[in-house]
Amino acid sequence: MAGIATAVTHPLDPLTATEIEEAAAIIRRECAGMERLRFPLLMLEEPPKEEVYRFERGDPISRRARATLLNRADGTAYEAVVSLNERRITSWRSLKGAQPPILMEEFAAVDELVKNDERWRSALRRRGVTDFDMVQVDLWSVGDFPIEGIDPNRRLVRAASYLRHAPTDNGYAKPIENVVAIVDLNENRVLKILDGEVVPLPPESGNYDAASVGELRTDLKPLDIVQPEGPSFSIEGSLLSWQRWSMRVSMHPTDGLVLHQVAYDDGGERRSILYRAALSEMVVPYGDGTDAFHWRNAFDAGEYGMGRNMGSLTLGCDCLGEIRYLDTVVADDDGRPTLCRNVVCIHEEDYSILWKHLDLSTGSSEVRRSRRLVVSCIGTLGNYEYGFYWYFYQDGHMEFEIKLTGVIQTRALPPGTVDDYGTIVSTDLSGVHHQHIFNMRLDFDVDGTANSVVEVDTVALPPGEANPHLNAFGGRETLLETEQQAQRIIDPLKARYWKIINPGRLNRFGRPVAFKLLPEASSLMLASPDSRVARRARFAQRHLWVTPCHADEMHAAGDYPNQSTGEAGLSVWTAQDRDIVDTDVVVWHTFGVSHIVRPEDWPIMPVERVGFQLLPVGFFDRNPSLDVAPPQPACHTGADCAE
């Protein structure tokens, strides 16, 4: 496995290729009777936080792997923890009633099974489709929607079909409406074909490649980003350092991009901010009430694995400038290591001005340009692309942004009809309204693990002695003391934000040091709380949740949302109403996009952005970017810069 790091220098380093091979071999040895054993997940078992904080360079490292296993012979699933130091399984439990995420091999298996099913072929012939090789088959998780005559405890998926006239066609231009296959993945068998009303195929192409578009713009001059001395950041294994920031970067098969131990060097003191930050879960519920669509929703992290679907990035296309890439290694369905090249992009960007002031009395001006560090990756889940971008700034704040693009989900309409659940984007073709709702798990350690969370609303002061002229306002702070109290919703009219404070460390003004979570305005899940998708995604009903840090509470909808009924996750854990004051807290932030589709989103969707910011609030005693050097003016046109 050339190109993958083989040395482990820190407890949080991802599993190496050798470690993946060893873990799988140990499991197979101790599970010799399971001849059809598959590995939906195989990854690092992250060590306890205390163990990581105690670690010093050169210390011995205890290495453990965690595996989710599926025995195809009887459909049972298990979790195992393997000690790589001791070369044995140290923990084993049955996942009774749980379905592991969809395996990569199951996508290809479903395509073949469906296309060879005579009932499916007959349904397509009714619609005038006879070249079955040109049909695109998309796999959909079934959720917990009942399917008449089928045991919900089976490992199931639904499959929808789209026609391509050429291999490179955009299949979503021609959905084959009202034909859905129900497939048992363990038995490798199509159980049922749901064949409804015949709807003609939409007539127009949806191709968007350069050859299909026609004449292209030619009036852009070259834009070169050059750093002749190389980038200003450094990478040592998984450790990334830049402009007083440091963090560990890795890829998790479910969560995708993970940052550990985000810290800032403040005058020689390495001050911790975040211990772990990653996507916890996301759900895409569709707003179409028809029989052919109402069941469509996807938990893209827990059902499919965000990290397993990350793509290799290309210089000049996905990334621009002086780029450094990180490779990753993932375990395939056999438990074998697979090298994935260039999945994380790291680079610097000029970001306009950092601060500026013109002194009108003296005419002097001081300005500094902002440069930011970008850590990003892009995953493809079916028809959608999700770009995950962390930005780090010289003034000590950070930002997380998700860029959504790809191809919208479509359905065919009978000629001349309108659609109550979508927007007409082409002749007899509708783009279906939907949401993308994300939840981020943010394990804060602001100058240590003993933190609290305070809600801050900006409100007008009541009339009286403190507000004699009726113009005064300020921040009203509320300490969130328990898990139930900390289930909160944004309020843009009050400029609401949440501060994560360390009551045990005060700044020079006597106030607890803090970072604030500044949310964007976004709606919560629009499906009724009594709907099946809402019961499985309770996290999507609040913008903020806070829990005490617990190693077994990592994913907002539970570790195994595939075919779940909503029996795990944030709503279950927070029912304990645990105390969250002056303790090791985890902040869970829900945000997203409610996508009322536009014609401009077809045939490929321009990027839409959503995210949040994390800003220091009294964490520093003054602006930490005062020491950024003044910019050096430069002109490249041959003209006088002053002119």
Q: Which residues of 351-376 are buried (b: 16+ CB within 10 A; e: fewer)?
A: eeebeeeeeeeeeeeeebbbbbbbbb
- Cα-Cα-Cα-Cα dihedral of 416, 422, 423, 425, to 10°? -80
Catalytic residue set:
300, 384
Element (H, E) at 22: helix 17-30
590 phi/psi in degrees, rounded to 5: -100, 135
- For helices 118-125 and 104-115, give the axis angle rounded to 10 degrees: 60
Residue 309, both tokens: 């679907």
Three-state DSSP at 615 gives strand
Task: Output the CA–CA distances (angstroms, integers) from residue 491 to 439, 514, 609, in the order listed.
Answer: 18, 21, 20
What is the CA angle 501-503-505, rounded to 5? Answer: 95
Question: Pairing mode, if any, of strands 384-393 and 398-406?
Answer: antiparallel
DSSP string across 433-447: PEEEEEEEEEEE-TT
Q: Which of 474, 430, 479, 434 is nearest to 453 (CA)?
A: 479
CA–CA dist 150, 565 (Å, integer) = 16
Three-state DSSP at 547 gives strand
CA–CA dist 539, 271 (Å, integer) = 31
Confirm if 562 and 152 have CB atoms less than 8 A apart.
no
What one-letter code names the amino acid at 144?
A: D
